[in-house]
Amino acid sequence: METIRHWINNEYTAGAPEDRDTADVTNPATGEVTGRVHMGTAATADEAVAAAKAAFPAWRDTSLTKRMQVLFRYRELLNARKEELAALITAEHGKVLDDALGEVTRGLEVVEFACAMPHLLKGGYTENASTEVDVHSVRQPLGPVAIISPFNFPAMVPMWFFPIAIATGNTVVLKPSEKDPSAANWEAELWKEAGLPDGVFNVLHGGKPAVDRLLEHPDIASVSFVGSTPIAQYVYETATATGKRVQALGGAKNHMVVLPDADLDVAADNAINAGFGSAGERCMAISVLVAVGDIADELVAKIAERARTLRTGDGRRGADMGPLVTVAHRDRVAGFVDAGEQAGATVVVDGRQGSYDAEGSGFFLGPTLFDHVTPQMSVYTEEIFGPVLCVVRVDTYDEAIELVNSNPYGNGTAIFTNDGGAARRYQNEVSVGMIGVNVPIPVPMAYYSFGGWKNSLFGDSHAHGTEGVNFFTRGKVVTTRWLDPSHGGINLGFPQNG
């Protein structure tokens, strides 16, 4: 059984002497405990932050050219060995191998974006803004920064942040989920192989005590978080109270609106892909399908036909859908299915029944499809984070818009239609941060920002893109005049340009 330790100053450590508690790491496809991860608390958090603080001055002053050499080496190593990381993700998270490889590939795109940092950090220069006075602007790194990432994307979500943080000259303390911690350690080893100096990238394992210390630590300059809305709000309020810059991405209830003119076969395929990929454990998963007009019966039948063909099982065996991450989460999702049935929703496809292609006692729940769901039911109001797709029927486009906009979440949404005018109206009127037109999971490219509205984001900065560059840097403006005897003398008036 593997022991998963912290990574501080480019080497593994068990952490502070008083931190010796561990937690089980499980293969969710088999139920087998495959490792034990050290659970750091405030003491080990202090060690990780101290390493990042000590490394910051030298890394900040390292030239952009040398920083980019490390970034490019990291990119090449990651690209060459991405299948290795994908297998590690599948073993601890449970998602199927091609989905895990897709996660790594999307994270790699952010690394490639960060490789353009010399261009992205270019400031402005104005010569002779006033007589013989020049003005220029620069962006400089913050210092040690904290990243707190969720279980559902153990590689991609940290890569939304740390390539940009490192490229801009910051040092990093990453706190991954204790449910699937090995991907973070693998990435740390890769950074060392790429030539990253000691202390620039550190991995702290643990639970709430470790997180709380990062949120309050005086040497942490910023916090990047992805997780549920209640925890995102807690992270935002706690960290900003200590003067930190915070981007806290929360939960989602993503709606896919299907208009009567849409190609229903295409819509059904995409509802399956977006609803049941990664067993629904995605913040960009479609969990609500809004059927507009008289298409619901036909569309539900097409989705049900496809859902029944999906093979659920061990992600290493070529299954379509893997297990849920823990037995507790599987039971929670199954409880929502029970509640939806009791509330009067029609169970069209029941994921509580069926067989699974796996050995052992994995944490499986098959694809589940509800019809006739109403906005008052818990399967609609709560973020289930599992393979449960709910169909809500409305009569008109206006009702669909009202449904989406009245939801407290605003992460992602999609509309399926062949009417360009309707699509343009939807993208303009909907109060959601990321919108897909005939695209069910509208995750932006790395050079655009990722982030939602309403209760899906706390703070005003989205992940990656130029917003990410701005988040991990601060602006500084320098006004310069080289001394000239003609500018001598005393003048207490406010400086005037001229």
Which residues are identified as catalytic? 283
Task: Report how far residue 94's alpha carbon sits from residue 96's, in angstroms, rounded to the nearest whole number.
Answer: 6
Element (H, E) at 133: strand 133-141
The number of CA neighbours under 13 Å toward the Cβ of 487 is: 10
DSSP one-letter code for 312: B
Which class for 124: exposed (0-12), middle (13-18), buried (19 or more C-beta within 10 A)?
Answer: exposed
261: CB partners within 8 A, 6+ apart: 417, 418, 419, 422
Q: How many CB atoms lie within 10 A of CB 464?
A: 26
Q: Answer whether 378's CB lies under 8 Å from 340's CB.
A: yes
- Give 372-402 as a DSSP string: S--TTSHHHHS---SSEEEEEEESSHHHHHH
Cα 453 versus chain centre, distance:
15
Between the CA atoms of 419, 421, 423 and 425, what dihedral angle is there, to the nearest 10 degrees? -150
Contacts of 68 (CB under 8 A, 6+ apart): 115, 117, 118, 167
